[in-house]
Structure 1
């Protein structure tokens, strides 16, 4: 059976990836520190499944990672583990440096030691895939898109820490020969996303009748990628991507933030109308913009499309409707996040 070590596999993107991989009969060794963003509830469907081995631990714990690699002999390591919220990085950048920079360094060193222990065939077949973000490229004007050769220009502590991790991954390939792949994705959305991010935040606040905070004038633009399309892209890059290369992953769905918020309001008005009959757009409240807020991101995913044949399969309208429906149907998952009870069960199961 194919075996992959996945870091950060109890988070939003990592959790969706783990669910997909196990469903396709891949054995996953899932290493997650279970910070606030890690949620074992996301993996509830895998409880008792021998194809999923969960280990609570930090990617910066080199001895632990080395032990897991030696014991399970994975065919690939996929690094989803990261602190990822811009607002939190502004308030406390230290945690982002520790996880995204120092943690990635220690992970790379543990993986390098394991990779060097393999025979020639094992070394040739092995892959280390690093999942990153389009935010490392900085902010676009009204024209153009991010390409893989766009110079890095990170503007937040979060994006700076991810840029540093990308550089470490690149260096470990060019210096040591480690067979790496890097993906830089646009804004993800979909099931199991922590409710601090825009789309689930707006859904929950709209349902609660609370103000819907929109930064600045609401015209910041993001390219939205449905998380299951992102998972498919990562699977494809892992399968056939050229070693040492970077692949941008985008949803080809640029939207202003205010457009996204209004679309959510319209979907909720159809599915769960307010008792007073008022449109949920009336709850929109513009708030002071956050420091260094990048104006526009847009991804050119042409390299991934032309080399590997991947394209997004879900339109933004389809994906947003499916996401709203998921949150309406999974209120127990959401409530355990909002009341903090999901964090009370923190006992790791080490393999």
Structure 2
């Protein structure tokens, strides 16, 4: 099978690409604009594999997309390219509107044009898999409620609103034009190769530098944490076994308050890399003003994908976070290079 992945140099996208190349016989074309969050260093393990190729393309560039489709002739599309950081969306929403909405529209139209010219056998097997977020549902007021595939949308931030819009476009293209689409909505991902502005890698790296560990508000926001490699397995299961027109929620079954996540990381670091002064890393925790419109609780009901496709997460939060902290400790050079973009520049032939 030939799989075109958009955003394959990002955190989740690179995990998907690595999973496919390492665990299947499929071919992958990775299309990525290479913004600040996309880094080819995350794909060094599979970079030389003959079944993998990369093209630097903006999903808003219809002509470049058309050429890539014509050359690669994909059997399925996995669409992960997106601007995804809530704080950045609050400070500058325009890029989120452009990439997440206009970019998705452009990709849908190019895909539809390509799909229509396929022979009947290939057309029947083709799938467009749109990867989204649980943030489109807004937040949960109770402590026992869960997001299901039929939960009404109520996005809170420019980021989640732009993702909600892209979800609606995908479903509209399926209903109006018959394009065979599938949508998945996932909970908070964590794991290796995560860009250091997100909570878990930020806390790890700040702690190692003896910097403050900033926590919004009281740190009582609750998230369901999903290890990125579990997510990659789930996404491949959906694109190969999922039913066209369906939505699948993907969760880690690991609800944690943000403050507890940070304290857990501190405890692991206290053992693996103690501070020189003998104090716990918890002394670095600093509470800061909460961000506007901050959702209190996300929690996913992932029973549908378990029942219908046989997927369950392999990592508990305890096993996953231990592996994640250890990975960062062992890959500080990757962190430096992703932050300054040096590997990207070397790979693309730009002087450092």
TM-score by length of 2: 0.97
Q: Which moved more, 1:211-220 or 1:238-247?
A: 238-247
Gaps of 5+ in 2: none
The whole-number CA distance in structure 2 between the counterparts of 1:48 and 1:341 is 19
Of 82-91 and 21-30, deviating more is 21-30
CA positional deviation for 1:49: 1.9
Encode CA deviations 1:160-213: one digit per residue, 9 max, x unaligned: 000000000000000000010110000000010000000000000001001100
Q: How does 1:118-157 map to 2 (within 5 A)?
A: 118-143=118-143, 144-157=145-158
Task: State the aligned residue count.
Answer: 347
Unaligned runs of 5+ in 1: none
Contact 1:34 1:346 in 2 (8 A): no
CA distance in 2, matches of 1:73, 1:338: 34
Which whole-Å CA distance do the structure 1 matches of 2:99 and 2:340 have between them? 26
CA deviation after TM superposition for structure 1 residue 239, in Å: 1.5
Distance 2:10 2:320 in 1: 19
> How far does residue 343 in structure 1 lie from its aligned partner after superposition?
4.7
Cα RMSD, aligned residues only: 1.1
Structure 2: distance between partners of 1:337 and 1:203: 15
Deviation track 1:119-176 (CA, whole Å, cap 9, x = no partner) reads 1111110000000000000011133010010000000000000000000000000000
Determine helix, strand or coil for the equivalent of 1:45. Answer: coil
Q: Does 1:197 align with 2:198?
A: yes
Following superposition of structure 1 onto structure 2, how do residues 1-351 of structure 1 map, counting pairs within 5 Å? 2-23=1-22, 24-143=24-143, 144-345=145-346, 347=348
Cα distance in 1 for partners of 2:261, 2:86 equals 19
Equivalent residue of 1:344, what SS? helix
1:128 match: secondary structure: strand
Q: For residues 104 and 87 of structure 1, what CA distance do their matches in structure 2 show?
A: 21
C-alpha spacing 1:343/1:291, structure 2 compared with 1 (3 Å): farther
Distance 1:113 1:286 in 2: 51
1:346 deviation in Å? 6.3
Report if aligned partners of 2:252, 2:313 keep a CA contact under 8 Å in 1.
Answer: yes
Task: Using the TM superposition, name which of 45-54 and 302-311 deviates more.
Answer: 45-54
Q: CA shift at 1:342, angstroms?
A: 3.9
TM-score calculated relative to the size of structure 1? 0.97
Decide whether the 8 Å contact of 2:39 with 2:341 is kept in 1.
no
For 2:221 and 2:215, how far apart are their aligned partners in 1?
Answer: 10
Q: Distance in 1 between matches of 2:86 and 2:78?
A: 22
Conserved in 2, the CA contact under 8 Å of 1:29 and 1:52? yes
- Report the Cα distance in structure 2 between the residues aligned to 1:290 and 1:136, rounded to whole angstroms: 18
Moved over 4 A (4+): none
1:240 CA drift (Å): 1.3
Q: Distance in 2 between matches of 1:345 and 1:36?
A: 15
Q: Which moved further from structure 2: 331-340 or 292-301? A: 331-340
